[in-house]
Amino acid sequence: MYSPYLRTILVLCIAGLYGSCTTAEKTKPTEGTALQHDAAYQDYLYQYSVIDALLSGVYDGNLSVGALREKGTLGVGGFNRLDGELYMDKGEVYKIRYDGSVHKVSDTAKIPIAFVKHFQADTTFTLVQKEMGYEKFKVRLQSFLNENEMYAIRISGTFPKVLARAPAPAGKPYPPLAEHLKEHQYGFGLEHTRGTGVGFYLPAFMGKVNIPGFHFHYLSEEKRSGGHVLDFVADSLYVEIDRASGFVVRSPDDEDFRRADLQKDRKAEVEEIE
């Protein structure tokens, strides 16, 4: 149909449209550009790594707590080797360990996964119900939310009971998360504490990168107890909700993440650990 000469020109044109065969070195953005980029995502959920990587056993990351604090003021996550639960509120970061102890964390600590947001509530209210359990609370809170949107949430009040957990550190070779937690998670039955839960509601379509539904970490007011929330009872809770405009995911820059099996369907594992 075309002469050899025209075919050569077409091939060159197509190559030009879809990219060349050479690689160009990435240039580091200027400081001003980086600041503008960050400002554009101030109302986004920022997350480091994805939940399926953690489920598959990627327990070490190279992001520091100091770098994470630049991305949000409220959030949840974990620490390298699964050494405790990460709790962030008002920019302060705490570690809740398997022995129940609470520690303020330095900016040099490293994390394998975290979800944070610059928190600015756009909806606040008080939920009142005698002996309101966690499941009832989630049903009531859901009525204020759109199931297809993302929200950062803070809840505070007096809790007659909180059932929380934290994992013990893992040893290499790291097993899948569900397997590790079967023998190395520790529960805390907290009674008559006043404190704050921080976390997120995320839609089902985020299931491959995060945990759909509700996910909260708790810290008592005196900062002596807390953990990943499994259940609670409260009579009155002050609720603050911040709708996110979107989300940004940063992939860990290491071989463990590159080798992780992220194709497997891990929905059942998420349900088991939650």
The percent of residues in the chain predicted with pLDDT above 70, rounded, is 86
Rounded-to-integer distance, Cα 141 and Cα 137, Å = 6
What's the CATH number for 31-269? 3.30.1330.80
Average pLDDT, the chain: 88
Residues 108 and 64: beta-carbon distance below 8 Å: yes
Angle ∠(274,234,178) on CA atoms, nearest 5: 10
- pLDDT, tens digit, 9 for 90 and up, residues 176-224: 999 999 999 999 999 999 999 999 999 999 988 999 999 999 999 999 9
- pLDDT, tens digit, 9 for 90 and up, residues 127-181: 999 999 999 999 999 999 999 999 999 999 999 999 999 999 999 999 999 999 9
pLDDT(267) > 90: no
Closest by Cα among 62, 122, 93, 55 to 255: 62
pLDDT top residue among 127 and 271 = 127
pLDDT category of residue 5 using cuts at 50, 70 and 90? very low
pLDDT(44) > 80: yes
- pLDDT, tens digit, 9 for 90 and up, residues 24-41: 344 444 444 444 556 778
Cis previous bond, 173, omega within 30: yes
Residues 214 and 138: beta-carbon distance below 8 Å: yes
pTM of the model: 0.85
pLDDT of residue 269: 78
pLDDT category of residue 13 using cuts at 50, 70 and 90? very low
Q: What separation, in Å, do the N-terminal and C-terminal C-alpha atoms of the chain show?
A: 62
